[in-house]
Amino acid sequence: MKKSAAPEHATEHLPLISNRFVYMATAMVAFLALLSVAINLGGRKLGAEMALAGHSDSTQDFLVTIGQDHLRLVANTLRFETQRRDGPAERADLYLLWPEMSGYRSELRTRFDDITRSDGLIFIQLSQSTMSRDMSGRVEPIYSHLFDGPAEKGLYGLTLHRLKSDAGYGNEVLLTAPRPGGPDFAVRCLLPAAGTPASSGDCQRDVHVGRDLSVLYRFSSSLLSDWAEIDDAVRRYVTARIDAEPQLPSNSPKIPENPARNDSL
257 pLDDT tier (thresholds 50, 70, 90) = very low
Interval 196-247: pLDDT, tens: 999 999 999 999 999 999 999 999 999 999 999 999 999 999 999 999 877 6
For residue 153, is pLDDT > 70?
A: yes
* DSSP letters spanning 30-83: HHHHHHHHHHHHHHHHHHHHHHHTT------EEEEEETTEEEEEEGGGBS-GGG
Cβ proximity of 120 and 104 under 8 Å: no
Q: What is the pLDDT of residue 46?
A: 36
Q: What is the pLDDT of residue 255?
A: 46
Burial of 109 (0-12, 13-18, 19+ CB in 10 A): middle
The Cβ of residue 217 has, within 10 Å, a number of other Cβ atoms equal to 25
* Mean pLDDT for all residues in the chain: 84
Q: What is the mean pLDDT of residues 58-74?
A: 97
**Would you list the domain boundaries of the chain?**
13-52, 61-241
Q: Going by C-beta distance under 8 Å and a sequence separation of 6 or more, which residues neighbour residue 192?
A: 198, 199, 202, 221
In 3D space, the residue among 220, 212, 161, 211 whose CA is nearest the CA of residue 185 turns out to be: 161
Q: What is the pLDDT of residue 245?
A: 74
Least confident of 41-50, 72-81, 256-265: 41-50
